[in-house]
């Protein structure tokens, strides 16, 4: 199962990618697959046919981990919307 992440590089726009597993703190680089912009478009610096990318930790500011399944289920509606639905 791949892990969806948002990668923030030094002095560049963040992008979305997938990782197979969490990187070990001793690793010198991070393996990313399917990088794309946050709106889903392909990145300008990605060559056609490339499947995996190695980014050194020295270029990465931080990585956000996206929890796609759990985040949508925990949304709570407004109290007023819930109370109107129960009225006869």
Domain ranges of the chain: 3-85
Tell me the C-alpha distance between 16 and 86, whole Å.
Answer: 41
Better-scored residue on pLDDT, 77 or 61: 61
Answer yes or no: are the C-beta atoms of 13 and 36 closer than 8 Å. no
Q: Which residues make beta-bridge pairs with 5?
A: 17, 65
CATH topology of domain 3-85: SH3 type barrels. (2.30.30)
Q: What pLDDT is recorded for position 70?
A: 47
The reported pTM is: 0.71
């Amino acid at each position: 199962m791949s892990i969806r992440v948002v990668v923030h590089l030094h002095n560049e726009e963040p992008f979305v990618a997938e990782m197979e597993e969490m990187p070990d703190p001793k690793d010198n680089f991070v393996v990313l697959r399917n990088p794309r912009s946050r709106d889903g478009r392909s990145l300008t610096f990605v060559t056609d046919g490339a499947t995996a990318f190695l980014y050194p930790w020295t270029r990465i500011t931080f990585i956000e981990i996206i929890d796609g399944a759990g985040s949508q289920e925990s949304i709570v509606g407004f109290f007023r919307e819930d109370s109107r639905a129960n009225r006869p």
